[in-house]
Amino acid sequence: MISKRSFGIAGTIVATMAIAALSMSLRAETVATVNGKSIDSTVFEAYIASRLQNPNMQLTDEQRAGLLDQLKDVYILSSQEMIADIQKDPDIQAKLELQRIGVLAQAYIDQYVSNMTITDEEIAATYDEQIKLAPQQQYKARHILVPTQGEAVTIIESLIDGGNFSELAKEHSSDTSATNGGDLGWFLPNQMVAPFAQAVVRLQDGRYTTDPVQTEYGWHVILREGSRDAEPPPLESVREQIFARLQTQKLQEHLAELRASAN
């Protein structure tokens, strides 16, 4: 659908003027004329792209006509006599300059990234590094989340007296997992907040915490039900993520080099 994340007609005018300043393609053709000013197809296509949430969306003739009418309004407003005085405003000049250099900078990034070479060897090496740094164990746990330490202590006393962890979770836990008896399933330590993860790692399978564990969410009583070796995801399932990470890394390195050589 067409995006509704409009930044106001003034912002649209500024963005469109910046786009128009870059539009010098010899292949462009005039799609409309407003107050003697031609709107060429390059500007129109750029405007369409700026208005779509999905860049691959196929527009109907009616939708394209509607967008062209919007663009005409921008040209009408930006061609009024008072625009000459508005353009002298330092704040407006600053916004226009930011738009101009922003478009140019993004165009440079797009071209640099499109010309970037990332080899299969680099992807494989990054994958191996990530596997080495990844947690080696997965854990299966249940928990009971309550707002106060005192409530957590009372629940631990009930467990010591033979209470059933799952039933106590259903009765007392404020977490959404309460309906499942506090079951959190299998997870890696880095998927949980640090105090919770550390408590789970210290436990043995089948044991629960005898002291309440505090996190930003409240106070937890945790039962570690099981542990197993973590299976790393296949390389192909994370190839695109690694590719994007390497692109970002190489771009950051290039920017660092440009900063160092900038006067």
Cα–Cα distance for residue pair 23/3, rounded to 1 Å: 23
Q: Write phi, then psi, for 262 (nearest 5 degrees).
A: -75, 145
pLDDT by residue for the chain (263 residues), tens only, comes to 444 433 344 444 444 444 444 444 445 799 999 999 999 999 999 999 999 988 888 999 999 999 999 999 999 999 999 999 999 999 999 999 999 999 999 999 999 999 999 999 999 999 999 998 888 899 999 999 999 999 999 999 999 999 999 999 999 999 999 999 999 999 999 999 999 999 999 999 999 999 999 999 999 999 999 999 988 889 999 999 999 999 999 999 999 999 999 99
180-202 burial, b at 16+ Cβ within 10 Å, e below that, comes to ebbbbeebebeebeeebbebbee
82-110 burial, b at 16+ Cβ within 10 Å, e below that, comes to eeeeeeeeeeeeeebeebeeebeeeeeee
According to the model, what pLDDT value does residue 54 have? 87
According to the model, what pLDDT value does residue 133 have? 87
Cα–Cα distance for residue pair 15/222, rounded to 1 Å: 54
According to the model, what pLDDT value does residue 56 have? 84
DSSP calls for 52-83: BSSTTPPPPHHHHHHHHHHHHHHHHHHTSTTH
Domains of the chain and any CATH numbers: 8-91 (no CATH), 120-131+233-261 (no CATH), 135-229 (3.10.50.40)
pTM: 0.60
